[in-house]
Amino acid sequence: MWSICVHGKENFFHYYQPVVDLQTAEVEGYEALFRSRVFPNPEKAFRRAIRKNKLFEFDIHSIRKALCTFALDGPANKGKKLFVNVYPSTILHRDFVLFILRMIDHCAFPAHQIVLEIVETESIVDFTALLTAINFLKKMGILIAVDDFGKGVDTINRTIEIDADYIKLDRYFSVGLTQSKRKQAYVEFLVHYCTRFNVKLIFEGLETECDIACAQMLGVPFAQGFAIGKPQPISKSM
């Protein structure tokens, strides 16, 4: 397929960044982050896939590689969650559920360790159909995360209706958290909401010890960021 392979070799790979429990310092799981030898950032790669009308193929190829690479590591990630980004249109594709079932079987990867992070950059045409697909995936044991919460214009609506297992708070809230009483107040509200409805809140983009300490004080349960653990190849990230 275009831009996935060059001269028979795949031109993309993944780095894995830990999601850590802020209270115990234990690793909850890892997010698979798309990297490419051709494109300077993931957004450009996926935008090109959209222009070429190949988003589904590109998306599932990335998910396949992330899952298989993670599964091959074996005992090192036993019981750890794998967070993988996915577009809403990919979930809605008629072949997606079958693809996931094959991946679970092929990689011998438990469904409850897979967390599908729904990206917020794509508009949802049929939200009812998306909810139906998500509920089916959840019945299979797969977990759902809302990515970059607070960044898009309708993430609050999406999150309430989707009933996600994880909410990943956009990095906007982590930058200067210690100095912003307004951000702290909003985070406290989200911590209360997530606790009440049994949702795991993940703080993204924590990059200073002060902001980590502030997030802990506010009761944020999970976080990821450069100050916690940098994205690395799987052999170095575990």
**Does residue 1 sit within a domain?**
no
Whole-prediction pTM: 0.90
**Does residue 62 sit within a domain?**
no
DSSP 170: -
Domain count, the chain: 1
**Does residue 227 sit within a domain?**
yes
Backbone angles phi, psi at 23, to 5 degrees: -90, -35
Residue 155's pLDDT is what?
65
Choose among 202, 148, 194: nearest CA to 172. 148
Per DSSP, the three-state class of 112 is helix
Backbone angles phi, psi at 3, to 5 degrees: 60, -5
CA pair distance 28, 18, nearest whole angstrom = 7
Choose among 142, 69, 67: nearest CA to 103. 67
Enclosing domain of residue 180:
13-30+69-237
Name the token pair of 213.
Answer: 């300490």
CA pair distance 70, 151, nearest whole angstrom = 28
**Does residue 64 sit within a domain?**
no
Per DSSP, the three-state class of 195 is helix
Cβ contacts of 212 within 8 Å, gap of 6 or more: 22, 206, 223, 225, 227, 228
Per-residue pLDDT of the chain (238 residues; tens, 9 = 90+): 445 543 335 688 999 999 999 999 999 999 999 998 888 788 888 888 889 999 999 999 999 999 999 988 755 667 899 999 999 999 999 999 999 999 999 888 899 999 999 988 887 888 999 999 999 999 999 999 998 887 765 567 778 888 899 999 999 999 889 999 999 999 999 999 999 999 999 999 988 899 899 999 999 999 999 989 999 987 655 5
CA pair distance 169, 63, nearest whole angstrom = 22
**Does residue 215 sit within a domain?**
yes
**Does residue 2 sit within a domain?**
no
Q: Which residues pair with 10 in a beta bridge?
A: 5
Q: Are 33 and 232 in contact (CB under 8 A)?
A: no
The enclosing domain of 26 has a CATH number of: 3.20.20.450
**Does residue 8 sit within a domain?**
no
**Does residue 53 sit within a domain?**
no
